[in-house]
Amino acid sequence: MHPLWRGMLDLLYPPRCEACGRLRQEPICDECRASIEHIGPPVCEVCGQPFDPRAQAAPQCAECRGRRRSFSVARSAAYYDGPLAAAIRRFKYDGQLVLGGPLGRVMVQALENGAARDLDPATIDVVCAVPLHESRLRERGFNQSEVLAEAVAEAIEKPLKPLLERTRPTAPQVDLPASSRVRNVQGAFAANLREVIAKQRVLLIDDLFTTGATLRECARVLRAAGTAEVRIFALARPVPTWRRAGADARALAREHRVD
Ligand SMILES: [Zn+2]
Ligand SMILES: [Zn+2]
């Protein structure tokens, strides 16, 4: 777009922060960016589930302990909460592709500041995004996970390849109870055998890690196709209940001036 048109459009529709709606130059304003909470240790060494530092001593969570996983390690950059959650919804459901850059940077930051260091990107061979089914892709116009994966691949200087295909459309996981999510994605993905190279170590990217059902299924398919290892990296995961309860209690204490 010609800068003059851009300028006129900005006068008519001044740019606003996509998370809080205040007038700002950046798609996510400084205040909103500062409020994004990266997930640091202690977390489950396998799936990255954040532990209550006052309670947990074991290295693995109850779901991972003694269980074989299709992925070797999963990490998420930040908590799905507040402005970040708002920005992710605007990105995914309102087609605000302009948020791809700032949201990708949240992931890159987590690699740089150590929150996601266990992903050891130096030993990754190839980056891959969770694919969307063609019908969803047409509707949305872009694959949000691929946009994030592009940012990560560029930052760690590894190739981004379409290693997976979605073979059938699925109901959005967000609409389903946790108990139905595994079945919903079973057999929904296939390896793209033109792209998969045996024994490679894959970094698999998605926007959200909730129950992990989609990512586990993708990792299973990639392993079955001959890759050596799949590590998972998501932009965000839900705030665990222990943390939410603590935050609510702190807010309450502030409001009522008690300790
Ligand atoms: Zn804002
Ligand atoms: Zn775990």
pLDDT at position 192 over 50: yes
CB 167: neighbour CB atoms within 10 A?
Answer: 13
Number of domains present in the structure of the chain = 1
Which of helix, strand or coil describes residue 209?
Answer: coil
- Judge whether 12 lies within some domain: no
107 Cα to the center of ligand 2, angstroms: 20
CATH number of residue 139's parent domain: 3.40.50.2020
Whether the Cβ atoms of residue 164 and residue 126 lie closer than 8 Å to each other:
no
pLDDT tens digits, one per residue of 21-76: 998 888 999 999 999 999 999 999 999 999 998 886 789 999 999 999 999 999 99
E strand map for 168-210: 189-191, 201-208
- Judge whether 22 lies within some domain: no
Return the ligand number nearest the Cα of 46.
2
74 Cα to the center of ligand 2, angstroms: 9
Average pLDDT, the chain: 90
103 Cα to the center of ligand 1, angstroms: 13
195 Cα to the center of ligand 2, angstroms: 30
13 Cα to the center of ligand 2, angstroms: 45
Distance CA 180, CA 24 (A): 41
Task: Please report the pLDDT score of residue 107 as a whole number.
Answer: 97
Q: What is the mean pLDDT of residues 153-161?
A: 97
41 Cα to the center of ligand 2, angstroms: 13
pLDDT at position 196 over 50: yes
Distance CA 26, CA 66 (A): 46
pLDDT at position 256 over 70: no
Return the ligand number nearest the Cα of 86.
1
* CB-based contacts of 186, cutoff 8 Å, min separation 6: 217
12 Cα to the center of ligand 2, angstroms: 49
59 Cα to the center of ligand 2, angstroms: 9
Place of tokens 């949240």: 106
- Judge whether 31 lies within some domain: yes
Q: Output 227 or 117, whichever has higher pLDDT.
A: 227
Task: Please report the pLDDT score of residue 34 as a whole number.
Answer: 95
| DSSP assignment letter at 157 | T
106 Cα to the center of ligand 2, angstroms: 22
Return the ligand number nearest the Cα of 212.
2
- Judge whether 19 lies within some domain: no
pLDDT tens digits, one per residue of 229-252: 999 999 999 999 888 876 666 666
* CB-based contacts of 252, cutoff 8 Å, min separation 6: none
- Judge whether 13 lies within some domain: no
CB 125: neighbour CB atoms within 10 A?
Answer: 16
pLDDT at position 255 over 70: no
Residue 178 confidence class, pLDDT cut points 50, 70, 90: confident
- Judge whether 3 lies within some domain: no
Which of helix, strand or coil describes residue 248?
Answer: helix
pLDDT at position 218 over 60: yes
- Judge whether 233 lies within some domain: yes
Task: Please report the pLDDT score of residue 259 as a whole number.
Answer: 39
- Judge whether 118 lies within some domain: yes
Return the ligand number nearest the Cα of 64.
2
Specify the amino acid at residue 130.
V
Range(s) of the domain holding residue 164? 27-171+181-256
Q: Output 152 or 2, whichever has higher pLDDT.
A: 152
pLDDT tens digits, one per residue of 85-113: 999 999 999 999 999 999 999 999 999 98
